Structure 1
């Protein structure tokens, strides 16, 4: 824990260096591998959980802190913790209809036993999950310099930016990595989608270090939504099935001047309960009355991990726009994924079924009641019924898994819609 305090002190020194500058963002949040968007497999191994903090000035100087816990349960039976604090500054060169951005980064990386196992088991006890007892490597905790940079070229396309970028990071004595990405960014805020290729060259300081690097290499799909107050992020590696995501809260969001006038596009998130008592997480992109949505849940069953996900295209019918409520009906159709994989990574079940769903709900609150900057927030309550076509019976698989994969799925929950004004 003393080492963790050292990293926090380094972050505070960075803050002291920019105290004279106006701050645009101070965000705190957490991440976990159970955030899969129905794409990753949530093996509860590898990059298991993390804590994150960022501070950004109005001149775009960025200070970030990442605390991450890595586990290897089955190959080397060891774990290690990683803490990195870094400072990044971008140099932007505007061209006619395009731009060049060069970013320089420096910082400190601390790797070893930072006490994350105790913290993880504390939360496992609260959640009534099995505790972990993995040995840390015998090597002492080490401190490394971090150097890096990114070169990006982008073009402006209406309210978006399309850019290609190459990022390089060097941690002497630990790792060298590079990543080439194609990104679609929003002009306002930090939201983006990207597809990239990542390669790492680890130092093999720990027995499991090379294994962890291989898990997070190759094709990488990344998504970040900047919702002003609430930010969500996610990345997945289709080649290995590993993923990681989380959320952050911007403590300075309410200081932004309200500028929202009309909604051009929206992002929604929510939690829906089904008869099994498990939470189905919802993420959707909304344009006018059309939506593209993912709902998913995952978790352990005996010595395996299951994943149930719905990939849905929907159309919303607005019934009435009242001063306090706006009821609606929605029709959705798409695919349902049922997946069960043994902890040894053997696939026990992997199926896609056509599905159709009907949802009824209502938005609550006055129009434009909760506005932060160019964003408008709306809360909704909804219930839905899903029908999964095809044969869903798998009598040879655990009964607990069969309960998660029925033909009829009922859900009820709460959601938050964040509407963007792109003007």
Structure 2
């Protein structure tokens, strides 16, 4: 049995930010993580360019966050400006793209993570890899390379992630332990996921190609981002932005020409087809063979007039067979219910134990929202834990 005043379980962004808050208050912490190396999902997110946050007013930015009984994230005091300043404080030069998204100049997560871990170690954080939390009997039990270990900290922050990307560590193995301890857990559901589509044979020629210059409308949400036609269905940022609404039953419509109003598009469809095949004629009108393929796939029965073609192209039904599986989702909804934690994120059933990050029941689109949200929650839980230690 090892005595430690502060324990963090989970070495992702929320856990490391909690550790930073605790070490910043002068407390030494143990960070236990089941994986061989820390922050694997964070590093995976950085493979295509680490989108840390998005420059928007706080009310607009945090308006993208959703969850049953979820509090407003803005009072946590960590939004786009704070996230950018934090990364710059780690020696990372940041830039803002044309869409407001903020990235490191090097477009990688690894330099930021290395600097972060070095600062945490210098401040008194002890990172223990391959430490898998196994139970709460008599304290926090772990299976480690050296055998079983038992910790009895004064405060603990749980930051074990949700249920997406289990191979990177977010496997929700903590659910039975907390549920048995009396913590209310909402069922996990995929978030920021694609949708399954059983494509017809003619669609095979556009598999792997990107859908650009379109809009998806689902409920009160509209996405103009790119997405991809994959073997399994539709995936990518443009789908993820409206995925929650579609998952929850909203009818989704694709606008293949969002920069043209109905009348101007109808004029294009009114041009004589002549001896052109249907596909070639549609390519002349829409200018993109991927759009044409999708219109022929989802637009049947095909219209018989220019006005009908314009109506169909401006509101093409997005036909799908349901969301892709949880283990393929970018993130998850569900987890520790907000009613199960205090405003300080302390578990009501386990005094002195806090929850942060994707363990809690909230979701947000990709594009910087998820990362900033995890950092905000980790910081908030870590600061609350530090205050408890001072009492």
TM-score, structure 2 as length reference: 0.28
Larger C-alpha radius of gyration, 1 or 2?
2
TM-score, scaled relative to structure 1: 0.26
Instruction: Between the two structures, name the one with larger relative contact order (CA 8 Å, sep ≥ 6).
Output: 2
More helix, by proportion: 2
In proportion to residue count, which structure has more strand? Answer: 1
